[in-house]
């Protein structure tokens, strides 16, 4: 039985099938891992140091690699929720001995983690007041990286992309989370979301390229979402 399974695997790993087979396996696993709104998959129970973190753990590993190589001075996060991703980023900054996180959310939360490297801002990420505060912080820092993980509707993400892109330093990343929704490949009925916003943005802004090498683990919530500023 086991031998049978192994030979089936080997069959599909052969050259004529390999690419389609991998796409199928990766797509199936992405759907399984994500689940459905009424029955979310295991990512929904992801925590960092006890704080709920609404991310794919393989993306968090990629974040760690980016922070190590790019060493941003300021990480701007739109969309805090419980504060798990902000705490993760701050913990990485602790390990590097470098960096600060400013995280924006429209909703107050009773108990977000306190950390000397995190500043929380309350408000709409696209409001003039919030943006001005973030811009002032960014101007004081050298290297700036931005993560967009707030309202996932296309219009909002596109507004954020247009606003925050100029703050990203050359060589740093502008990461758009959850480009996998609206059928890329999960949550088919979401409607235009982050992926559609990224595609529109990349057509109008030649300073950024989608760095597909960041998707090399095969499972990511951010396909085409790791945008690197190249000029
Ligand atoms: C997906 S959650 C963020 C998850 C968090 N980054 C993490 O990985 O644990 C999205 C958050 O965006 C916030 N949000 C929604 N619309 C927003 C807006 N216009 N401006 C700022 N935050 C917003 C929501 O309140 C919610 O907490």
pTM value > 0.75:
yes
Do 118 and 222 belong together in one domain? yes
Q: How far is the CA of 204 from the centre of ligand 1 (A)?
A: 25
**Which CATH number characterizes residue 125's domain?**
3.40.50.150
Do 64 and 6 belong together in one domain? no
Say how far apart CA 143 and CA 161 lie, in whole Å: 18
Do 111 and 30 belong together in one domain? no
Q: How far is CA 41 from the centre of its chain?
A: 17
Do 29 and 90 belong together in one domain? no
Q: How far is the CA of 6 from the centre of ligand 1 (A)?
A: 43
Do 60 and 146 belong together in one domain? yes
Say how far apart CA 13 and CA 20 lie, in whole Å: 10
Do 76 and 176 belong together in one domain? yes
Question: Best substitution site from 89, 105, 221, 225 to test ligand 1's pocket, by max atoms within 8 Å of Cβ?
Answer: 105
Ligand 1 first shell, C-beta below 6 A: 53-55, 78-82, 84-85, 104-107, 124-125, 149-151
What residues contact 27, with CB distance under 8 A and at least 6 apart? 185
Do 182 and 128 belong together in one domain? yes
Q: What pLDDT is recorded for position 10? A: 83
Q: How far is the CA of 81 from the centre of ligand 1 (A)?
A: 5
Question: Best substitution site from 37, 43, 91, 106 to test ligand 1's pocket, by max atoms within 8 Å of Cβ?
Answer: 106
How many domains does the chain contain in total? 2
Kindly report the CA angle at 29 between 10 and 35, in degrees rounded to 5? 160
Do 83 and 128 belong together in one domain? yes
Q: How far is the CA of 87 from the centre of ligand 1 (A)?
A: 15
Q: What is the pLDDT along the chain (231 residues), one digit of tens a residue?
A: 566 667 888 888 887 888 898 899 999 999 999 999 999 999 999 999 999 999 999 999 999 999 999 999 999 999 999 999 999 999 999 999 999 999 999 999 989 999 999 999 999 999 999 999 999 999 998 899 999 999 999 999 999 999 999 999 999 999 999 999 999 999 999 999 999 999 999 999 999 999 999 999 999 999 999 999 999
Do 112 and 222 belong together in one domain? yes
Given a contact cutoff of 8 angstroms between Cβ atoms, the answer to whether 42 and 50 are in contact is no
Do 87 and 29 belong together in one domain? no
Shortest CA distance to 209 belongs to which of 190, 189, 231, 188? 231
Do 123 and 20 belong together in one domain? no
Nearest CA to ligand 1 atom 10: 150
Residue 145 belongs to what domain range?
46-229
Shortest CA distance to 109 belongs to which of 79, 149, 89, 82? 82
Do 9 and 56 belong together in one domain? no
Q: What is the 3-state secondary structure (H, E, C) of the chain?
A: CHHHHHHHHHHHCCHHHHHHHHHHHHHHHHHHHHEECCEECHHHHCEECCEECCCCHHHHHHHHHHHHHHCCCEEEEECCCCCHHHHHHHHHHHHHCCCEEEEEECCCCCCCCCCCCEEEEECCCCCHHHHHHHHHHHHHCCCEEEEECCCCCHHHHHHHHHHHHHHCCCCCEEEECCCCCCCCCCCCCCCCCHHHHHHHHHHHCCCEEECHHHHCCCCCCCCCCEEEECC
Q: How far is the CA of 59 from the centre of ligand 1 (A)?
A: 17
């Amino acid at each position: 039985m086991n031998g049978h399974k192994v030979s089936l695997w080997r069959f599909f790993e052969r050259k004529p099938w390999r690419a389609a087979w991998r796409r199928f396996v990766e797509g199936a696993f992405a759907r399984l891992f994500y689940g459905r709104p009424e029955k979310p998959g295991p990512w929904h129970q992801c925590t960092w140091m006890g704080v709920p973190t609404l991310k794919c753990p393989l993306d968090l590993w990629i974040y760690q690699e980016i922070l190590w190589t790019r060493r941003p001075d300021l990480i701007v996060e739109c969309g805090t929720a419980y504060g798990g991703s902000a705490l993760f980023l701050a913990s990485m900054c602790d390990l590097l001995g470098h960096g600060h996180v400013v995280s924006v959310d429209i909703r107050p939360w009773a108990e977000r983690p306190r950390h000397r490297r995190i500043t929380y801002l309350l408000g709409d990420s696209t409001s003039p007041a919030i943006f001005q505060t973030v811009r002032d912080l960014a101007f004081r820092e050298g290297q700036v990286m931005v993560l967009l993980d707030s309202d996932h509707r296309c219009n909002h993400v596109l507004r954020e992309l247009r606003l925050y892109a100029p703050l990203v330093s050359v060589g740093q990343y502008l990461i758009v989370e959850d480009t996998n929704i609206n059928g890329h490949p999960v949550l088919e009925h979401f409607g235009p979301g982050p992926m559609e916003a990224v595609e529109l943005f990349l057509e109008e802004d030649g300073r950024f390229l989608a760095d597909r090498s960041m998707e090399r683990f095969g499972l990511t919530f951010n396909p085409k979402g790791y945008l690197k500023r190249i000029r």
